[in-house]
Amino acid sequence: MSAEKNLKILVAEDDNFTRDVIEEILISNNYDVVTSADGLFALQKINDGNNFDLIVSDMDMPNMNGLELINNIRKDGIDIPVVILTGNQEVKIAIEALKNGANDYIIKDENISDTLIMSIEQVIETYLLKLENIRLVEELARKNQELERLSYLDGLTGIPNRRYFDQTIRQEWNRALREESSLALVLIDIDFFKVYNDVYGHQSGDQCLQRVAQCLSQTLHRSSDFVARYGGEEFVAVLPKTSIAEAETLANKMRYNLAEQELEHKGSNVAKHVTISVGVSCFTPPESSTIDQLISDADEALYSAKRNGRNQVCCCAPSPTL
């Protein structure tokens, strides 16, 4: 709705003379006007998809009176402002209309040419302020949601961060407990990354982290799986409903996919390109187990991969279900 006066107004009034007078007043003030002789016909015009900016309605009309018209449009969730026209003897009914969703009422008397325009302008202004407030609240909510989303992303790589991992692993652990389903964890470390930084510089190191993060993330295809930056040059993948064998296969696929990137690494002792060491753990969680144990087992497996020569995947055997 614009604040200009070329607004579209629906007039519902059964008295021909009064309706013509109101129409003339509104047109002379640059409003677009559509008229109706009763409330039922007015409701049909509204439901036909006409985009009215305001409704001016008499209270006492055949087929459907003004109060019934208001009740019908408000019941349907239509928020068009409504100004009620009333005679001196209908003020109590007009007040009832205000309680049911009308925005204002005016008395049909010799001053109607002034009071009608004043009422419309005030109602429109109030309505526009209401819409603006709603817009601002919705915009604030969207920005807060975006800030919340960003708070769970790693600023360098754009993938989920440690905070997201800490929160989500707990949710997945509880789900695994409820469903008695497996939960696999994959810890990933870039081999000789400190040497990489020394050889190529920290800016290239950052680019390497970004490329590795992208490669790891693209290896996952289920919406329930995710890779997060665990810290420094370490990453972690959470794989719900995944067995130890399936997790090992996926971990090796991550390693192969990264090798295909052929990211040069002159400082590596195991390859001419960037490689990763990977530790895998998996539980079908018994009540006595803990998330810390799952992480500790993956970390132990990662240590084994490093100790055994790096650029490989090692698995920790699943904990037995009690």
The catalytic residue positions are 233
Nearest-angstrom CA–CA distance, 235 and 171: 19
Q: 35: which 2 tokens?
A: 């008229």
> Using an 8 Å Cβ cutoff, are 165 and 119 in contact?
no
Residue 105 · residue 84 · CB < 8 Å: yes
Q: What is the rounded CA–CA span in Å between residue 152 and residue 171?
A: 15
Beta bridge partners of 8: 32
What is the H or E stretch that residue 9 is in? Answer: strand 8-12
Task: Judge contact between 205 and 136, C-beta under 8 A.
Answer: no
8 Å CB contact between 188 and 237: yes
Locate all alpha helices (DSSP H) within the chain, ordered by sequence: 16-28, 39-47, 66-75, 91-99, 112-150, 162-179, 193-200, 202-219, 244-261, 291-307
